[in-house]
């Protein structure tokens, strides 16, 4: 579960991390009131679960409450990477002397938390050279000991005898406490800024492990899924909306990703990711098709490699939907595996010839989507 920036900063503050003065608002009048309360100049930030807000025009500055109101009016209703802006964070504008990067996440290969730090933070952190990024795996039994934090600060080129160095050690220690105590997958500050003698978290990105939410009852809940994605989740299907025009259904996360890659390779654009999973029966397959059709695709590809999933079940579900409601777009089906001959016979009755290979099916789906 991703948290909005303002939620992350509220969490940071509870653990003693310094953050700018600010408040969440939902309308222009509130933005003006907060600007008057904390004192201009202020920065008005769109609250969306996406990065690159600054480059997308989702962050504005104001020198007066009136300017803050006008900026809020402009930002509310925007979309950033397809996400509507419905919430804003109005906070004091900082004097920024230096930007740094700091995060803790999971190193899946090592099965340990990893601290990532750089003395070169900000919007273009992805472009920072690898040798300027410090990575330190943390032993969960040992935890974030002081000598580990001090070693990272030294490697960032910051003296431990300075106010900045001493504060950085505290920030790293607090960030690890948040990561462990709140069951986080990621806690990130980018940028972490030097403002005078102070070290302040100018941004906050926090992601909580969904499987641990049951024991994090004090944290706010954020629904990231669209209405269609939520409906799919309630049906036990893995569905993600994308921005293309070819509907996709497959039986397994790996084969679904492979289908997306094949479509992209041949010049197509997937409209969704839909993993119907192993063992999905006729009813589940029919509901999956309904979800895809609701996206109004130009073509649909169904890629089934039947093991637990029976090809005849998939074929029967497809034939049932086609006969009852009709499918107004061309459909390409690759059907291989358990009961494939029976499944192919069913498809043939409704005018579909199944493919043997995913590449051939993907190429045809792209061709049909462009016809």
Residue-wise burial string across 65-80, b where 16 or more C-beta atoms lie within 10 A, e elsewhere: bebbbbbbeebbebeb
Of 207, 150, 157, 163, residue with least CA distance to 184: 207
The alpha carbons of the chain give a radius of gyration, in whole angstroms, of 25
Torsion over CA: 144, 147, 151, 154 (sign): positive
Residue 91 CB contacts under 8 Å (≥ 6 apart), including other chains? 20, 21, 22, 23, 38, 42, 43, 45
Cβ partners under 8 Å of residue 229, min gap 6: 239, 240, 241
CA–CA distance, 119 with 131 (Å, rounded to integer): 11
Q: Which two tokens stand for residue 323?
A: 């006969």
222 is written with which tokens? 């954020």
Tokens representing 225 are 């899924």
Rama region for 126: left / alpha / beta (φ>0; ψ in -120 to 50; rest): alpha
Q: Which residues carry out catalysis?
A: 101, 188
Positive or negative: CA dihedral 158, 163, 169, 174: negative
Q: Give the Cα separation of 196 and 201 in Å (integer).
A: 14
Q: Give the chain's length.
A: 371
Within 10 angstroms of residue 220's Cβ, the number of other Cβ atoms is: 12
Asked if 88 and 72 count as a contact pair (C-beta separation under 8 A), the reply is: yes
Terminal CA-to-CA distance of the chain, rounded, Å? Answer: 40
From CA 242, how far away is CA 302, in angstroms rounded? 16
183: phi then psi, degrees, rounded to nearest 5: 55, 50
């Amino acid at each position: 579960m991703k948290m909005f920036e303002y939620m992350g900063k509220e969490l940071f503050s509870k653990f003693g991390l310094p953050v700018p003065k600010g408040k969440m608002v939902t309308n222009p009048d509130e933005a003006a009131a907060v600007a008057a309360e904390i004192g201009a100049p202020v920065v008005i930030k769109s609250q969306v679960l996406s990065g690159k807000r600054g480059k997308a025009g989702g962050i504005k500055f104001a020198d007066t409450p009136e300017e803050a109101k006008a900026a809020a009016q402009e930002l509310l209703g925007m979309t950033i990477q397809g996400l509507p802006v419905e919430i804003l964070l109005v906070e004091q504008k900082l004097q920024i002397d230096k930007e740094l990067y700091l995060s803790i996440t999971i190193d899946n290969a090592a099965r340990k938390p990893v601290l990532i730090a750089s003395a070169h933070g900000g919007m273009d952190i992805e472009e920072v050279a690898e040798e300027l990024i410090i990575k330190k795996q943390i032993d969960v039994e040992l935890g974030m000991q002081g000598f580990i934090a001090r070693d990272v600060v030294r490697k960032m080129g910051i003296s431990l005898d300075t106010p900045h160095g001493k504060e950085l050690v505290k920030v790293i220690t607090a960030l690890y406490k948040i990561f462990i105590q709140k069951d986080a997958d990621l806690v990130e500050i980018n940028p972490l800024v030097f403002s005078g003698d102070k070290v302040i978290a100018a941004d906050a990105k926090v992601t909580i492990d969904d499987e641990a939410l049951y024991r994090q009852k004090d944290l706010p809940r954020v629904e990231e899924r669209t209405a269609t994605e939520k409906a799919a989740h309630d049906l036990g299907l893995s569905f993600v909306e994308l921005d293309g025009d070819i509907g996709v259904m497959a039986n397994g996360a790996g084969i679904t990703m492979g289908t997306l890659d094949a479509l992209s390779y041949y010049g197509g654009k997937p409209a969704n990711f839909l993993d119907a999973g192993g063992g999905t029966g006729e009813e589940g397959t029919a509901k999956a098709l309904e979800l895809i059709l609701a996206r109004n695709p130009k073509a649909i590809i169904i890629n089934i490699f039947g093991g637990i999933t029976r090809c005849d079940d998939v074929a029967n579900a497809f034939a049932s939907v086609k006969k009852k409601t009709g499918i107004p777009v061309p459909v390409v089906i690759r059907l291989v595996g358990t009961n494939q001959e029976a499944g192919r016979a069913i498809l043939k009755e409704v005018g579909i010839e199944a493919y043997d290979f995913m590449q051939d099916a993907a190429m045809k789906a792209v061709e049909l989507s462009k016809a």
